[in-house]
Structure 1
Amino acid sequence: MRKVEVCSYNEKWAQLFSEESEKLKHIFGNEVVDIHHIGSTSVPGLKAKPIIDIMPVVKDINNVDKYTIEMQEIGYDPKGENGIPGRRYFQKGGDNRSHHVHIYQAGSYEIKRHLAFRDYLKSHLYEVENYGELKERLAQQFPYDIESYINGKDEFVKEIERKALEWTE
């Protein structure tokens, strides 16, 4: 059973993103348009689960499935769309997750949503502090219940996302 662990921001997360994104560029080659560090580990100062979220943007999402074996060879477990149409999702590390890869096709609304959320937090430090404290409380309250942890953040995340999308307009 996975334990929900939230820790202080770690400067190494940016380097771990860079190292992994190079591996992904090597696998996907010219299919990749861009690769973004998203999620809590991409926001300096934000407490987070120590899992690097990576968002490659590709020319054609349907071509991603051709690279499943190469992704498995570097430790990723393919999860298909995993509940979000138009996404290809991969996890690395089993119960001790280290990376999540969320692949979208260029032009997907999901790209805008993720980048707005990240960039809004980077520019609103009081939100970073509030979000980090909420995550820490929820991790203590639900140490072995990831679903309750996620549900506990849901309202706050949706509110930040709403503000972020307005802010980017």
Structure 2
Amino acid sequence: MYLFPHNSQWQEDFEREQRAILSAFCGAIDVFHIGSTAIEGLYAKDCIDVLGVVDDISAVAQSKQQLIDLGYVYKGEYGIVGRQYFSRPQAAPQSRQQGKQQRNPQRKTHLHIYQAGDMQIDKHLHFVKVMQGNSTLIAELNQLKRSLAAKYPNDKEAYKMHKKCFYDRLNCAN
């Protein structure tokens, strides 16, 4: 597991991504920053999670090529019924561009699109709402993440499984 202390660049990267998605998407879509990179002070993997909400999930088909043109790879539901999932790998920094190193290489991004009313939307937005500004919960989750990353450095599934208890506890309070 590669965990990083909060990086203020994550919010700027999300905003750039949000603008690109909004301009590429054919139709109406609401775009939210979700996951650990959305929480100031929280350790996270260096990957921006983006939530897209549409009135009709079938509308995603009309924008699939435009999202692919942004560098996303379409993965379908990818194990979660009702989701349309796109992943964009991190772009390798260009070695030299007019004598300068590229300042902001494109960060890895996951785009999760759901139809309005899907319970996954509330789960993702609830996490951000509860965690933002809650220093006690942020410290608790940071400690848990670092401990699990040290214990399971090469076992992503075990890391996620043991972290799930924390997330379940937050969702029960919803």
TM-score of Structure 1 vs Structure 2, range by shorter chain: 0.7 to 0.9
Deviations 1:126-146 (A, max 9, x none): 111111111112122222221
Distance 2:56 2:34 in 1: 20
Contact 2:74–2:87 (CA under 8 A) maintained in structure 1: yes
Deviations 1:100-159 (A, max 9, x none): 111111222211111111100114221111111111121222222211111121111111
User: Shift of residue 68 of structure 1?
Assistant: 2.1
Correspondence for 1:27: 24
Correspondence for 1:79: 75
Moved segments of 4+, more than 3 Å: 94-97
User: For residue 166 of structure 2, what is the amino acid of its counterpart?
Assistant: F
User: For residue 82 of structure 2, what is the amino acid of its counterpart?
Assistant: G
Distance 1:113 1:137 in 2: 24
Q: Does 1:88 align with 2:84?
A: yes
User: TM-score, normalization: structure 2?
Assistant: 0.85
Q: Matched residue of 1:16: which SS?
A: helix
Q: From 45, 48, 55, give the equivalent of 1:49.
A: 45
**What are structure 1's unaligned runs of at least 5 residues?**
none
- Greater radius of gyration (CA): 2
Distance 2:155 2:71 in 1: 25
Q: Does 1:98 align with 2:125?
A: no
Correspondence for 1:7: 4
Q: Matched residue of 1:37: which SS?
A: strand
Contact 2:91–2:108 (CA under 8 A) maintained in structure 1: no
Q: From 151, 156, 162, give the equivalent of 2:166.
A: 156
Q: Matched residue of 1:31: which SS?
A: coil
- Over the aligned positions, Cα root-mean-square deviation in angstroms equals 1.8
Deviations 1:66-96 (A, max 9, x none): 3222222222111111122111111111799
User: For residue 120 of structure 1, what is the amino acid of its counterpart?
Assistant: V
User: For residue 153 of structure 1, what is the amino acid of its counterpart?
Assistant: K
Contact 2:31–2:50 (CA under 8 A) maintained in structure 1: yes
Distance 1:84 1:59 in 2: 18
Correspondence for 2:14: 17
Contact 2:40–2:133 (CA under 8 A) maintained in structure 1: no
Correspondence for 2:97: none
Correspondence for 2:95: none
**What are structure 2's unaligned runs of at least 5 residues?**
93-106
Equivalent pairs counted in the alignment come to 160
Q: Does 1:134 align with 2:144?
A: yes
Q: Report % sequence identity.
A: 34
User: For residue 10 of structure 2, what is the amino acid of its counterpart?
Assistant: W
User: For residue 162 of structure 1, what is the amino acid of its counterpart?
Assistant: C
Distance 2:90 2:62 in 1: 22
Structure with the bigger percentage of helix: 1
